[in-house]
Structure 1
C-alpha cells in the first residue's frame, strides 16, 4: 500500500514538473491581419503577447520580414502609456510595465504587403519588468511542427496574377491584292520645251549660212566683172 501511494505521489509530481516546464513555451506572441492576400495595401496587423512573467510586460520589439520597410509601418493602437518607435529593422512598442498577468496587444498599419510572399514571420522579443526576455524568433517552416519559440506568423493567399503587357502600337493594316497607285512626278514645262527649242535653232541656222554663201558668191562675181571693165585691152 505504501509502495502504491509512493508511486502515485511520484507520478503526480512528475506530471506537475512537466506542466511547469511546458508553461513558458505555451505562451506565444501571435499576429493576425485584416487582409490576407499577398500585395494587399493598407493592412492592419494585430499583435498579441501573452504574459508569462508576473513582473509584467515592459516592451515588445518586432523585426519586420523582408519586403516590409520600417518606414512603411505606422502605429494604430498601443497599450496605455506605451509609445511606438521605428528602428533599423522594425519597431518597438513599450513603456511602463503592464500589470502582472496582463497580456500586451498592439496594432500597426503596413502600407503594402510584399508581392509573391504567402508566409510572413515577425520575430518578436518580449521584455519584462524584471529584465527577462522571451525570444519568439524561430521561423515556422511550412509542413513542419511548430518550434518551441515560434515567431508570430501570418499566412497569405497568393496575389492576383500580373496582367500581360499590351502593346500600344497600332495594328498593321491588312494586305490588299490591289496594288498601290504609282505616283509619277510631272515633267516641268521648261524641260519639255527644250527639245523643240533645239530643233528650231537647228532649222534656223542653215539658211543663214546659205545667205552668207550667196553674198560671198555675188561679191566675187561683181569683183570679176569690175576688173574686166577696167582692164585695157592688150596692144596688137
Structure 2
C-alpha cells in the first residue's frame, strides 16, 4: 500500500476544514435567497375581504402595498366592472388622499330599488396629496359598493398603481382556475350565495355587516403583515448565517 505523506494528509484536512467552514455561509445564502424570492408573492393589489354575498351591499378595501425601495405610490386607479355595473359606489375618506369618481352611460339601463339607472361609476381614482404610500408600507382604500349582481360568481377590478418615479404597474391580468397566479393579477371579489333578506339592508343592520367585513379585512391584513415579518426574520437569520460562516472560515484559517 502506498504511503501518504504528512504534507498530503495536512492538505486534505485543511481542505475538509475549509469546506465545513463554508457550509454555514452556503446555508445562510440559500435561506436568505429563498425568502427574498418568496417575499414579493405577498405584494400585489387586492380586494379584502375576498368575498361578499350576491345581491347585497358590501364594504370592501383595496389594499395597495408599495413594491419599490426608491419610490412612493402616488396614484391608484380602479376600473369598475362594466358587464355587471355597480349603481352605488361610495368611498370612505382616506387622510392624505383625494378621490374622484368617473361615471359612464350604461349600454343598457338597470333597475335598482324600483328606479331605472342609466349611468354608473366606471372608475375611481385616489391621488396622494402628500408623500403617498412610502417604501415598506401599504394603504387601504375602503369602498361601499352595491347592489352586487345575483347572476355572477365574481367581480374583477382592474387596477393601475402609479409611483413617484412615473412607473406604472398594471394589475389587470385575469386569474384562471387551476392555473398559476399571473405576475400582475387583477383584484377579484368572489360572490357567494345570498344571506337572508339583503335587499333592504340599511341602518344598524347594514352598519353591523360593514363592521364585520372591516374586521375581517383587518384580520387578513394582520395575517399578511405577520407573513412579511416572518420573511424579514428569515432574511436576518440568513445574514447571521453568512456572518458566522465568514467568521468561522477566518478563525480556522488563522
**What is the TM-score when the length of structure 2 is the normalising length?**
0.52
Matched residue, 1:51: 66
State the secondary structure of the residue aligned to 2:150: coil
Q: How many residues align?
A: 159
Which protein has greater RCO, CA pairs closer than 8 Å, 6+ apart?
Answer: 2
Cα offset, 1:80, TM superposition: 2.2
Pairwise CA RMSD: 3.0
User: Cα distance 1:25–1:127, how it changes in 2: closer, same or farther (>3 A)?
Assistant: farther
Work out whether residues 60 and 92 of structure 1, in 8 Å CA contact, stay in contact via their aligned partners in 2: yes
Q: Which runs of 5 or more residues in structure 1 are unaligned?
A: 161-236
Structure-2 change in CA distance of 1:99 and 1:31 (3 Å): closer
2:173 corresponds to: 138
Alignment-derived partner of residue 228 in structure 2: none
Which ranges in structure 2 are unaligned for 5 or more consecutive residues? Answer: 1-16, 105-121, 196-254
CA distance in 2, matches of 1:35, 1:11: 41
2:173 corresponds to 1:157: no
User: What residue in structure 2 maps to residue 228 of structure 1?
Assistant: none
Pairing partner for 1:120 from 155, 161, 168: 155
How far has the Cα of 1:58 moved from its partner?
A: 0.8
Alpha-carbon contact 1:33-1:43 (below 8 Å) kept: no
Normalized per residue, the structure richer in strand is 2
Show the counterpart of 2:132: 98
| 1:56–1:18 distance in 2 versus 1, CA, 3 Å | same
So what's the TM-score if we normalise by structure 1? 0.55
CA distance in 1, matches of 2:133, 2:30: 31
